[in-house]
Structure formats: C-alpha cells, structure tokens
Amino acid sequence: MKSQVVRMLWWGCATLSLLVGLLHTPATIQAAPRCFGETGQCIDGQIRTFWERQGGIAVFGFPIAVATTTNVDGHTVVAQRFERQRIEYHANNPAPYDILLGRVGADTLAAQGRDWQAFPQSGILPNCRYFAATNQSVCGAILQRWLTTGIEFDGKPGFSDPERLALNGIPLSGLVNEILDDGRQYQVQWFERTRIELHPENRAPYHILNGLLGSASGASNQSTAPIATANQPIPTATAPAIFVPNPTTNTTIPVSAVAATVIRVVDGDTIHVLLDNNDITIRMIGIDTPETVDPRKPVQCFGKEASNHARQLLNGATVYLEIDSSQGDYDKYNRLLSYVWLADGRMFNQVMIADGYAFEYTYNRPYKYQAQFKDAQRNAQIQQLGLWSPATCNGVHGVVGTTAATATAVPIIIGGGGSGSGGSSTIDAASAPCLVGQIKGNRRSMIYHVPDGAFYAKTYANVACFDSESAAIAAGYRRSKR
C-alpha cells in the first residue's frame, strides 16, 4: 500500500510524461562501450549516451556495477548502478520514455527500514518552494541546488520544473540532521531520486552534494522497493541530532590583546568597556548586526535577538581587545575598532557570525580574520541559523521587524555576485545590484563606493561588484571621496 502511495504522489505532482521523458540517441544507434579504470566498469548503448548527455560523472558518478536485466513493475529492463543514481533502459517503452532514473532516495530509505512519511512535515515556509504532495518545503542552499540541476529534455536553456523533478523528484523530508557513512553529522534533505547534502567544510561549489545513494546498500536494481510501516523507528545511527557549529578555529587569545571589562552592551556589534578606568566604546571589526538603537533607522529583523545574545555573552565579562592595524584605531564615530576575545578563548566577533546573529562586514580594506569570518558566515547560511533562517530574516540585510512575514516583503535573490564571494547571497535596497557588503564600482566614472559611502545606495546602474577595495583598485577603479 505504501509503495502505491509513493507512486501516486509522484505521478500526481506533475505530468509524468514530462518528468521522466528523457532525450537520447535513437535505439538504432548503439554507443560503443566506455570503461573506467576507477571502478573497472563499462557503460554502453542507450545508457552511455544518456549518461554522457546529461552530466556524466558530475551528476551520476562512475558506474559501480555491470548492467543487469531485472524486472520492474512486471517489465524486463536493463538497469545499471552509478555512484549517485540508477539508470534504467526500458526497451518496450517508446522513445523518449525508454530511459528512466531510479527512485534511489525512496529505495535507500526503504532499505534502511525508514518510512519517509514519518519525517516531520515542514509545511509552507516563507521564501521556499512548497510541495503539497508531501507537505514539505525546500529552502536555502538546497533550494538553490534543486533549482539549478535537472535533466535536459525540452531543448531550452536552463531547467524547467519538470526537468528538475526528473533528476531529483519531490522532497520526502524537510531539512534533517543525519550521520553519514564517514561517521560525521550533516544536514541533508531526502528526495525521491536523491539526497542533497550540505557540506560546510568544503569550498563552493562542493559544499552542496548529491549523496552517493547508487552505491548505498539499499540502492539495488529494484525500482519499486516497499516502504516501511509508519511505526518503523529510525535507526539510532541516523536519528536527527542538533548540529553545533564550531564558532571559531582560534583557541588562544593573542598575547597583544588587552584585558577590559564590559560595562554595557549597546547592540550586537557595539559595546562599552572599562579600560584603564576609562569608558571606551568598542565597534567590532568584521561584523554587522541588525540595528536596534540607531535613531535614523527602525528596529531591524533579528536586531533584538542579536543584542540579547551579545548581552548573554558579554554583560559584566572580562574580555580581551585585539587591534588590527589594517583597519586603523577608530571609526568616524570615534569608536575603538577591535576584535573582542572571550575568556574561554573564543573570539566574540566570529561567534556572532557563526551563530547566525551577525553578517560578515568588510568596511574598507581586508582585515586579519576576514577569510575565517566569511567561512563562518557561509556555514551559518548553509545551516540556516539565526537571521539566515526562512522563519526569521532569510538572510536579508536591513529588513524591518522580526518575523518571516515581514522578511518576505523583500525579494530573495538566489546566487549572483562575484565568484568566491563570502558575503550574503541576498540583495537589499541599498546594496542592489551587488550582494550585501560588496563594493560598487561605477563602470562609467571608474569610481568605487563602499557600503557606508554617500553615493553607495544611489549607485545602481552600470555597476561592477567587488569583494574588497583591493579588488576594485586592481580593476582600475579609484575610491569615492565621499
């Protein structure tokens, strides 16, 4: 009964003829064998033609088994397993429906004795793609992956929803935490035909991967594996658990850091400390938190939460201040620019970014810890922590209020920006058309503007976006005087 339900959901979510109809070379043309020393396996015929046209190793991985004849739904098919998928050749089906992809996501869950219907249902979430068939939403980085991958069969640029579904299928779970084969815990989302995994330890684009389900023990050459009962418990090894990010790679307070006592927390990035019996205002280097006290601006999304988090960590605490000569001593408001180290060896600036309470912020020039701050932000963004959560601000900088309903008033733009950017993947009114925190260069005047510059928000046409001033200067731009 459960296998019938799965099929009904799949067939009912879209027109099947579009989802699984895949272009390939006509049956009269047979591709010669192609063998791989990595696995000692070969591919040929329609399966080879399809594999090569639809992405090859990057999409399906290497072949890991010989092509075998098997029975699927009462029909004889030739199926071959690859690292990430199973490709089936249905000789009795008319082209282009004779090449189908296996449902390895559903099959793997079934082989593990797990019922996909037992996953918590996320329901409709803001700024996400909702699938009524399973009452699940796909969000954030995984949504970006889903939108940018698919099987090409309509001859048009990019991927349509039917093409995306043909490769990935509909979601069977929401975002869950699971321990994978390497013994480490990751955030993943299960789909009918794949499992999309977040690997924050990897550099882009390898921080989002499709699981090796073709090589999983449950991914046999059986397309209609039964689904376990709803009461089947999830194995302990794969039960969800809370993912706790490592907030900082530093554990030693620099010798040059000076001890001070926090006497007041203004907001998430500004505090007052007692240093040599003087009340000194500190502005954190490399971070920017939503506004709560600026009289010129309303309280911004997640601003109160960021301030409260800062108070919990800093109120009355002894901290250690580290100056960065590359940033100067004071900002234009006469606040001392500093990294703030906690007594336990963590750097507060980075903790705020890693926990999702602050954006990485490069004001003028690259600073000492810029790379690791950007890595911390990338991890928080991938894990949808704090202000990156679809239930709060969804990563939109400058949104007023603290609810997702308010955040949805600002359009979320997936992707864009310069390559290698560690900043936000969203755009607000001031930063458009660049990403939040990026520098804008006017292509006509060859003048660049930093985020706090007088003409930054007014520069929105003929714009080049840069991650740092040094990059803008290297491109031939000079800094605006205002």
Query: Active-site positions?
Result: 283, 291, 335
CB–CB of 96/163 below 8 Å?
no
Cα dihedral 433, 471, 380, 116 sign: positive
CA–CA separation, 4 vs 239, rounded Å?
26
Q: What is the C-alpha to C-alpha distance for residues 28 and 46, in angstroms, rounded to an integer? A: 10
DSSP 3-state of 65: coil
Q: How many CB atoms lie within 10 A of CB 199?
A: 16
Tokens of 192: 């009918």
Tell me the two tokens of residue 430.
């001031």
Q: Is 317 exposed, middle or buried (0-12, 13-18, 19+ CB in 10 A)?
A: middle
* Contact by Cβ (8 Å): 213, 204: no
Written as six digits, the tokens of 310 are 């800062």
CA distance 170 to 192: 6
N residues, the chain:
482
Q: Is the peptide bond before 94 cis (omega within 30 degrees of 0)?
A: no
Specify whether the backbone of 328 is left (phi greater than 0), alpha (psi in -120 to 50) or beta: left
Residue type, 197: E
What is the spatial distance between Cα 72 and Cα 130, in angstroms, rounded to a whole number?
A: 30
- Cα–Cα distance between 426 and 433 in angstroms, integer? 10
Of 383, 204, 365, 182, which is closest to residue 286 (Cα–Cα)? 365
Neighbouring residues of 145: CB distance < 8 A, sequence distance ≥ 6: 196, 208
SS3 category, 364: coil
Count of other CB atoms within 10 angstroms of residue 85: 25
